[in-house]
Amino acid sequence: MSQNIAGKVVIITGASSGLGAATARHLAALGASVVLGARRMDLLNALAEDITAAGGKAAIARTDVTQAADLTRLVETALAVFGKVDVLINNAGLMAIAPLDALKVDEWERMIDINIKGVLYGIAAVLPYFKAQGSGHFITISSVAGAKVFSPGGTVYSGTKFAVRAISEGLRHEVGGAIRTTTILPGAVDTELTNGSSHADSATALKEFYKQAIPADSVARAVAYAIEQPDGVDINEIVLRPTVQEF
């Protein structure tokens, strides 16, 4: 177990698969109590059962991050079951790659709702508790596409991830005296994120690009690194890619 992770209560959105599930398993193995939010309750139940069977602690709540009330309920679940919240991992995301002239307006709106508004709803739900207790840690999953525009086809997705990075940095300026803020910018990682594109040519190109993907637990270890630092150390950004990735 990690001394500075054991005993902490960590909320994770988008926890039913991919980065969220890998992070939940890793942090639980290090002694954290994890509170898991996602829409797919069957997967959440199975994950929580696996964690508890391995000796960990987990609670779940159905969570659609596009609904502010769901994030409030997720935080309330953490408080009811474990009595506190130490870390919020804003992980839920959608990557719908398509050129702008494909006019996938519904997908643009969905990415904005999940990738940007979902992060803001998470912050709104937990920030009052962090301020009241004088401590806390926001960890937000952005993307290397939040540092460099992913093109062709990733303009709107990159826009949402640039926004996430800006929100996280602004949050650091506002509350950084007591509350830590970390943005994780992964490259190609093996998750379900590649299934979000309905544009056929973009989906094909994306699957080719992701052949170089690294396992999801690569990001889980980066998250753990940020959390386990002494309270006076704030790891603000971590960028990680497959060694062979150029973008």
Q: Are 29 and 2 in contact (CB under 8 A)?
A: no
The question of whether 157 is a catalytic residue gets the answer yes
Separation in Å, CA 114 to CA 6, 93, 96, 117, 238 = 30, 6, 11, 6, 22
3-state SS of 191-243 is: CHHHHHCCCHHHHHHHHHHHHHCECCHHHHHHHHHHHHCCCCCCCCEEEECCC
Per the CB < 8 A criterion, the answer to whether 213 and 243 are in contact is no
3-state secondary structure of 11: strand
Active-site entry in 129, 157, 210, 225: 157
- The residue behind tokens 């991992």 is 89
Q: Which helix (H) or strand (E) holds 31?
A: none
Please, what's the b/e burial string for 150-183 (b: 16 or more CB within 10 A of its CB; e: otherwise)? beebbbbbbbbbbbbbebbeebbeebeeebbbbb
**Spatial strand order in the sheet of 136-141:** 57-62, 33-38, 9-13, 87-90, 136-141, 179-186, 237-240
| Structural contact between residues 13 and 20, judged by C-beta atoms closer than 8 angstroms | yes
List, by residue number, the catalytic residues. Answer: 157
